[in-house]
């Protein structure tokens, strides 16, 4: 059997298993997939598919498909747990404010502006003042999707909704909520980071 035929049969087998698992999870009754097992053998050429009342087995290349045990109900529960973990691991920022330490999701901060010896975290509904330099904040926030657009402004790229070119060679950004910020020529090259794909022009932000 050719390698292509083996891959095709593997794909068919996996699809059958997923469909049966979904059916078993939907009706909640005793299912042939309860305690289901996907197992592999040492054969690198033969490929067979067996299904019994208690298990589902496919003989496949062990280097490609390790032994895995799957129960439809458990799989659904694990996926839900992973969603919760992902939310808990959303990047956050901690800072002192009014005698306590506040924790905010970085995704909720639209921009950071210099305010003398402080920076203002533009968070809706209320901004927060933090004793930190803008240069220091720009470096700390860069790995989390923030770019500098002005000597006194850093913006969250996920909050930017529109870019407007100006006759001066500068740009104006509009973020969620309608607030606008000026992008000076010194930092306009950072606008390329606002999107992974630019279409319709070779020099949208040149």
- Whether residues 100 and 188 share a domain: the answer is yes
Query: Model pTM greater than 0.85?
Result: no
In a domain, 200, yes or no: no
- Whether residues 154 and 181 share a domain: the answer is yes
In a domain, 32, yes or no: yes
- Whether residues 59 and 115 share a domain: the answer is no
* Prior bond of 64 cis (ω within 30°): no
- pLDDT tens by residue, 92-126: 899 888 889 989 899 999 999 999 999 999 988 88
Instruction: Calculate the average pLDDT of the chain.
Output: 75
Picking from 56, 88, 120, the residue at the C-terminal end of a domain is: 88
- pLDDT tens by residue, 59-74: 445 455 555 566 777 7
CA distance 201 to 115: 37
Range of 116's domain? Answer: 93-194
- Whether residues 107 and 141 share a domain: the answer is yes
- pLDDT tens by residue, 2-34: 445 555 665 665 666 556 555 555 554 444 444
- pLDDT tens by residue, 168-178: 999 999 999 99
CA distances from 146 to 1, 78, 114, 141, 160 (A): 53, 32, 15, 6, 11
CA distance 11 to 170: 53
**Cβ pair 176, 194 in contact under 8 A:** no
């Amino acid at each position: 059997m050719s390698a292509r035929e083996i891959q095709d049969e593997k794909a068919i087998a996996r699809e059958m298993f997923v469909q049966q698992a979904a059916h078993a999870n939907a009706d909640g009754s005793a299912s042939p997939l309860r305690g289901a097992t996907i197992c592999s053998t040492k054969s690198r050429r033969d490929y067979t598919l067996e299904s019994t009342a208690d298990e589902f087995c496919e003989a496949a290349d062990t280097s490609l498909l390790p032994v895995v045990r799957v129960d439809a109900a458990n799989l659904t529960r694990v996926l839900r747990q992973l969603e919760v973990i992902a939310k808990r691991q959303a990047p956050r920022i901690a800072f002192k404010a009014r005698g306590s330490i506040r924790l905010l999701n970085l995704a909720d901060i639209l921009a950071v502006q210099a305010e003398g010896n402080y920076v203002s975290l533009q968070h809706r509904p209320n901004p927060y003042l933090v004793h930190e330099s803008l240069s220091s904040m720009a470096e700390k926030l860069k790995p989390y999707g923030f770019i500098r657009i002005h000597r006194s402004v850093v913006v969250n790229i996920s909050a930017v909704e529109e870019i407007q070119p100006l006759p001066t060679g500068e740009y104006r950004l509009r973020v969620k909520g309608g607030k606008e910020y000026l992008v000076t020529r010194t930092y306009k090259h950072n606008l390329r980071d606002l999107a992974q794909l630019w279409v319709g022009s070779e020099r949208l932000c040149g």
